[in-house]
């Protein structure tokens, strides 16, 4: 009877994961979808704790299990509530890394069980070993790589590479695969030393895998590592014959893979180029041509041109997130709309530091989802737009992607803001963006610089517009 109820719990969990993921596709249903999937997970976890049996015995160890659940729930809740939107990419990397670590620990525990079995003269199926090693390697690479991504996004470490690093990476990866294949084919030679050698090499590979990848590629890397964690979790589902782990892992793995492909497409770069190209390093590229001079615009002049425009397009970037200015930006939008101005937002797929960063940011401020235009839609609207207000975006509006074959971002689809009648660019300074390259848009005749913190500038604009 308990087994039948447990199977139903797993079925409920799997179904809620699928429905919840589908609901995440639209902001209006995303919160409910998240709660639905979390509810299905809770049912599956509690069902496992109280109903799972092996050889007629239940799990037991309830004090340890619930102590871990309570501690993890409290820490996770506090971290999620306190995190700023600017630090959301770091949190995503951190939590994703924890998922990879869990998958790796599952493989370590199961290897320990098999090791004891073999020491007593037992046998093990090669398929089981394959799953264990796959979960160990992928989970560990996801963990160590995610920790590097977290530290880079947090500013704790910089891009690092050395001559021949890609060759070293390939060598380490070959050794990992070679040792794993050897132990799978000849399980009688399994030893703790070789197993933990694979573990250590996987940690090193994860570090070297992410360290050289530049800042502008971090959204792609986060998405890729997320898919790694999903695949590793799916292997855990195979190990335990657990349909919920299998379903959840497959969903995360496939969704992360699809998103990675879409992100690469949005940047017009193959994944292999992202992984070995080191695009977007921390050092600024030196422009070989004189860009000329830029001109500035005042708050009052900016307020006037936007107030009397027919159509205004706002381009949000990481600078908006840093200043936590999404709410005052929404206030500016509503104020202009009341004056009869048509206001929309142009969203580039890789704006910010993680996939969908700008969408999440604006959703937090209750911006109408219908106003968020994807890149293709926005590019169709720019020729009819009177004023474009760029808030902290840089590389995603750089015309060099279309005009300069020598530019590292050449070929990357960008927002064609220069086609509008006027461009106002809000930045703290003339420093290059996250990709470390100069933006020729700043020096074009249609462009005007509005320097300052995004939140402060928007607050001043709102106050000025109210007086008109």
Please, are residues 417 and 444 in contact by the beta-carbon 8 Å criterion? no
Q: How far apart are CA 142 and CA 46, in angstroms?
A: 27
Q: How far apart are CA 192 and CA 419, in angstroms?
A: 63
Residue 126: count other Cβ atoms within 10 Å of its Cβ: 12
Cross-strand pairs, 448: 424
For 52, phi then psi, to 5°, come to -65, 140
What DSSP state is assigned to residue 56?
T
Q: Which of 329, 322, 310, 344 is nearest to 460 (CA)?
A: 329
Q: Which position among 368, 395, 404, 453 bears the catalytic label?
A: 395
Q: Which stretches within 187-340 are classed as H helix?
A: 192-210, 218-240, 243-267, 271-277, 299-307, 318-322, 326-338
Please, are residues 143 and 104 in contact by the beta-carbon 8 Å criterion? yes
Q: How far apart are CA 413 and CA 381, in angstroms?
A: 16
Q: Which of 232, 291, 216 is nearest to 103 (CA)?
A: 232
How far from 89 is each of 82, 168, 319, 390, CA to CA, in Å? 14, 29, 14, 21
How far from 23 is each of 48, 80, 337, CA to CA, in Å? 26, 21, 30
Which residues are CB-neighbours of 57 under 8 A, at least 6 positions away?
A: none
Q: Which of 319, 345, 341, 318 is nearest to 330 (CA)?
A: 345
The distance from CA 410 to its chain's CA centroid, rounded to whole angstroms, is 23
Q: Which of 407, 405, 426, 404 is nearest to 417 (CA)?
A: 426
Which residues are CB-neighbours of 197 under 8 A, at least 6 positions away?
A: 179
**Is residue 290 among the annotated active site residues?**
no
Q: How far apart are CA 116 and CA 134, in angstroms?
A: 20
How far from 1 is each of 127, 219, 428, CA to CA, in Å? 31, 47, 65
The residues carrying an active-site annotation are: 395
């Amino acid at each position: 009877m308990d087994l039948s109820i447990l199977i139903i719990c797993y079925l409920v969990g799997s179904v809620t994961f699928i429905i919840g993921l589908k609901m995440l596709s639209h902001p209006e249903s995303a919160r409910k979808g998240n709660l639905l999937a979390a509810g299905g997970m809770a049912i599956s976890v509690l069902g496992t704790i109280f109903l799972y049996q092996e050889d007629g015995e239940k799990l037991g160890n309830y004090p340890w299990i619930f102590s871990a659940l309570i501690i993890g729930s409290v820490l996770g809740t506090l971290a999620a509530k306190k995190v700023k939107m600017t630090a959301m990419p770091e949190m995503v990397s951190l939590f994703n890394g924890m998922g990879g670590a869990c998958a790796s620990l599952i493989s370590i525990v199961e290897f320990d069980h098999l090791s004891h079995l073999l020491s007593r003269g037992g046998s093990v199926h090669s398929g089981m070993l394959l799953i264990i090693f796959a979960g160990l390697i992928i989970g560990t690479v996801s963990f160590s790589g995610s920790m590097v991504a977290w530290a880079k996004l947090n500013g704790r470490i910089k891009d690092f590479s050395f001559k021949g690093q890609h060759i070293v990476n390939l060598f380490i990866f070959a050794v990992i695969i070679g040792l794993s294949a050897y132990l799978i084919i000849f399980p009688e030679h399994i030893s703790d030393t070789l197993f933990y050698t694979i573990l250590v090499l996987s940690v090193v590979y994860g570090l070297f895998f992410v360290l050289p990848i530049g800042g502008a590629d971090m959204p792609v890397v986060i998405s890729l590592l997320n898919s790694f964690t999903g695949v590793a979790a799916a292997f855990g589902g195979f190990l335990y014959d657990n349909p919920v782990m299998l379903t959840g892992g497959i969903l995360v793995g496939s969704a992360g893979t699809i998103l990675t492909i879409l992100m690469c497409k949005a940047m017009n770069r193959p994944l292999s180029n992202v992984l070995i190209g080191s695009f977007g390093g921390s050092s600024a590229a030196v422009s070989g041509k004189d860009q000329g001079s830029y001109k500035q615009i005042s708050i009052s002049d900016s307020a006037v041109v936007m107030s009397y425009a027919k159509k205004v397009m706002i381009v949000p970037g990481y600078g908006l997130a840093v200043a936590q200015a999404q709410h005052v930006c929404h206030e500016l939008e509503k104020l202009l709309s009341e004056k009869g101005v048509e206001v929309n937002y142009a969203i580039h797929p890789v704006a910010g530091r993680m996939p969908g960063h700008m969408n999440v940011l604006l959703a937090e401020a209750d911006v109408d989802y219908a106003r968020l235009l994807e890149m293709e839609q926005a590019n169709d609207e720019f020729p009819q737009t009177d004023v474009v207000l760029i808030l902290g975006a840089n590389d995603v509006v750089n015309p060099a992607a279309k005009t300069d074959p020598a530019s590292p971002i050449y070929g990357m689809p960008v927002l064609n803001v220069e086609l509008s009648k006027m461009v106002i660019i809000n930045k703290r300074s003339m420093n290059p963006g996250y990709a470390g390259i100069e933006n020729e848009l700043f020096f074009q005749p249609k462009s005007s610089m509005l320097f300052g913190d995004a939140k402060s500038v928007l607050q001043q604009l709102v106050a000025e517009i109210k007086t008109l």
